[in-house]
């Protein structure tokens, strides 16, 4: 990632991509204390547009507030930097990564005295789970690692440290030949994927796990709106592993993963072993929204062209 052409915004300045560096004694590098966002921009008929930018930046503000990290920029300043990151790097579509971290001003578990730093980068990133994942679906393994209890990790914050748990889970799944991991909560109920929320279809009803220990995903919220507008009921409930095995359809949602069908969990075929009709319906509605093809959702798009 470091050897690229382009520009990265760091603490209010545009730096050549290869010059955007931090010191090895950066506090967040040692203790994982910080937060970030993942945002996508899509090619539309009117040029690149960032999807749900304000909601993502609001969540970044919330994450910083939860973690008690000073965020030294306004939402408007961050939004302008995100828009300019797409423009300046000449991207038609993009993945954007705002990252709030603590610097090398001091070390030690207590970060008091370490200054807040914010960077925003944008680059082209294709299908997160592989080019065929959204078309043919993926195989998922239930991890031996549980998702955090809300009194262990602040689950509403998109915190850097949370992802050590996700890394352990996904590496375990891929070592066993699966595409992705699914984590249960500490009571054994379905929580989420390593970096995605989950939905399942059972007897025509669209269900999702309660988000007590899962991230309140923006793509998840998008799916709830799309489903409601399509006349589908969405219900949140505790979901057991065996309920998931017997689901008619399962799919994962996330900014990076978008809408990815799941066709197998723990070597149990889901439904007919192929993406189901409701998954396809939601997927098509989502892609129409992010590409600016459905004018009902045009307010979700922030144009990057002047």
Task: Choose the catalytic residue: 158, 203, 237, 272.
Answer: 158
Q: Which two tokens stand for residue 61?
A: 């503000």
- Alpha carbons within 13 angstroms on the beta-carbon side of residue 26 total 16
Q: How far is CA 175 from CA 141, 143, 150, 183, 265, in A?
A: 11, 12, 28, 16, 15
3 vs 1: CA distance, rounded Å: 6
302 vs 294: CA distance, rounded Å: 14
| Helix-then-strand count for the chain, H and E | 8, 17
Task: Kindly report the backbone phi and psi dihedral angles of residue 120, in degrees, each rounded to the nearest multiple of 5, phi listed first.
Answer: -135, 120
Q: Exposed, middle or buried by CB within 10 Å (0-12, 13-18, 19+), for 5? A: exposed
Q: What pairs with residue 32 in β-bridges?
A: none
Is residue 158 flagged as an active site residue? yes
Q: Exposed, middle or buried by CB within 10 Å (0-12, 13-18, 19+), for 279? A: buried
Q: How far is CA 95 from CA 2, 59, 126, 172, 239, in A?
A: 16, 17, 9, 26, 31
Residues annotated as part of the active site: 158
């Amino acid at each position: 990632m470091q050897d690229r052409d382009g520009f990265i915004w760091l603490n209010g300045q545009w730096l050549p991509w290869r010059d955007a560096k931090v010191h090895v004694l950066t506090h967040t590098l040692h203790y994982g204390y910080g937060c970030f966002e993942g945002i996508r921009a899509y090619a539309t008929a009117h040029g690149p547009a960032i999807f749900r930018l304000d909601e993502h930046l609001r969540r970044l503000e919330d994450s910083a507030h939860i973690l008690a990290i000073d965020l030294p920029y306004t939402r408007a300043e961050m939004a302008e930097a995100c828009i300019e990151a797409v423009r300046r790097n000449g991207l038609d579509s993009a993945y954007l990564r705002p990252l709030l971290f603590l610097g090398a001003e001091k070390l030690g578990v207590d970060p008091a005295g370490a200054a807040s730093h914010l960077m925003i980068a944008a680059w082209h990133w294709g299908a997160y789970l592989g080019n065929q994942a959204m078309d043919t679906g993926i195989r998922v393994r239930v991890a031996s690692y549980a998702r955090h209890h809300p009194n262990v990790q602040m689950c509403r914050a998109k915190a850097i440290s949370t992802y050590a748990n996700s890394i352990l889970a996904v590496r375990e799944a891929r070592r066993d030949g699966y595409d992705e991991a699914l984590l249960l909560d500490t009571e054994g109920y379905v929580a989420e994927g390593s970096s995605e929320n989950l939905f399942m279809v059972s007897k025509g009803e669209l269900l999702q796990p309660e988000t007590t220990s899962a991230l309140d995903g923006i793509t998840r919220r998008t799916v709830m709106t799309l489903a409601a507008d399509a006349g589908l009921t969405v219900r949140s409930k505790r979901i057991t592993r065996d309920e998931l095995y017997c689901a008619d359809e399962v799919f994962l949602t996330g900014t990076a993963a978008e809408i990815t069908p799941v066709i197998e969990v723990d070597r149990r075929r889901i439904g007919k072993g192929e993406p189901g009709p409701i998954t396809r319906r939601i997927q098509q509605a989502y892609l129409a929204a992010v590409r600016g093809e459905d004018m009902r959702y045009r307010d979700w798009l922030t144009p990057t062209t002047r």
